[in-house]
Amino acid sequence: MLFKQQVLLRQKLLVLGSLAIGSLLYLVARVGSLDRLQPLCPVDGRFGPRGQDEIPLRALQFKRGLLHEFRKGNATKEQIRLHNLVQQLPKAIIIGVRKGGTRALLEMLNLHPAVVKASQEIHFFDNDENYAKGIEWYRKKMPFSYPHQITIEKSPAYFITEEVPERIYKMNSSIKLLIIVREPTTRAISDYTQVLEGKERKNKTYYKFEKLAIDPNTCEVNTKYKAVRTSIYTKHLERWLKYFPIEQFHIVDGDRLITEPLPELQLVEKFLNLPPRISQYNLYFNATRGFYCLRFNIVFNKCLAGSKGRIHPEVDTSVITKLRKFFHPFNQKFYQITGRTFNWP
């Protein structure tokens, strides 16, 4: 009897062992085939002209891993050569507008596996000292990327700086230009709020928004105040149109990017001739922060800095009304030039 029980026990152990080995072999085979599986954001389209090679599936890994190390200067020339990485001049630039959502737009576009962003504002074209260093200096400020990826930088001061359109034109007359705008009065108040926060951090006093935005002598809108001037979008755009056709610009709705980002990003993908890769999976609303955060993959999420979404100070309603009335004719012209209408008051 005991002998039979021992035999049955050995048989059970053999069966369990076989099942365990089979499961282990299945997992090994499964892991070994991961490179052949579709990633969360599949990279199966061609990002360059027809006939060029596709970006490898491992581009996502390099983009989040090795490329980060290369940006920190932790790579040898041999490693860079082996991975076929280059520092490219940007094929698209977010030229403005300040406090329109330029950082959010750049970070969201970076969700696309064919896009590589410059992490810092370069201020090459709007800074005479930097511009004097030459185009090679500018190129070396760009991140490492695959040849078929698009490098994008953003410097919102470009939009309002007089010399910039001609300088960018001389670098690349066919470059794609992104402008993100918000309702002009809201944008001006946001501009003021950022400056105010900086003053308070240094324990300095600052004028109220109403005193800066309205000329005390005439009681009219103070067009010398930079926050107001920046919001006259059409005046700045007309200067750019002396060098670039309107087809090379794409206007992004900064207000909609806050509340409903995906449709805006899909329009940008189309403008940049990128295959659609950004999906609702990549964007999730963070109720604590009050705006959308980014999901790159199952383990890597990112929210914008806490300084984004500052609470604006209360502004006299009569001043808001006066500003909106002032901006109205400029807005109408902006709609006409760009072909995009916004529901601004």
What does the domain layout of the chain look like in residue ranges? 76-338
The pLDDT profile of the chain, 345 residues, written as one tens digit per residue, is 544 455 455 555 554 555 454 544 444 333 333 332 233 333 333 333 333 334 443 444 445 455 555 555 555 666 666 668 899 999 999 999 999 999 999 999 999 999 999 989 999 999 999 999 999 999 999 999 999 899 999 999 999 999 999 999 999 999 999 999 999 999 999 999 999 999 888 888 889 999 999 999 999 999 999 999 999 999 999 999 999 999 999 999 999 999 999 999 999 999 999 999 999 999 988 888 778 999 988 878 888 875 566 788 899 999 999 999 999 999 999 999 999 999 899
pLDDT for 302 equals 86
Q: Which residues are annotated as a binding site for 3'-phosphoadenylyl sulfate?
A: 99-103, 182, 190, 292, 308-312
> Catalytic residue numbers?
99
The reported pLDDT for the residue numbered 52 is 37
User: What is the model's pLDDT at position 55?
Assistant: 44
pLDDT at 157: 97
Binding residues: 99-103, 182, 190, 292, 308-312
8 A C-beta contact, residue 189 and residue 315: yes
The length of the chain, given as a count of residues: 345
Its pTM stands at 0.78
Q: H helices within the chain, ranges in order?
A: 2-32, 59-64, 66-71, 77-82, 102-109, 128-131, 135-139, 164-171, 184-201, 209-213, 226-230, 233-240, 254-259, 261-271, 317-338
CATH of domain 76-338: 3.40.50.300
The rounded distance, in Å, linking the Cα atoms of 170 and 29 is 54
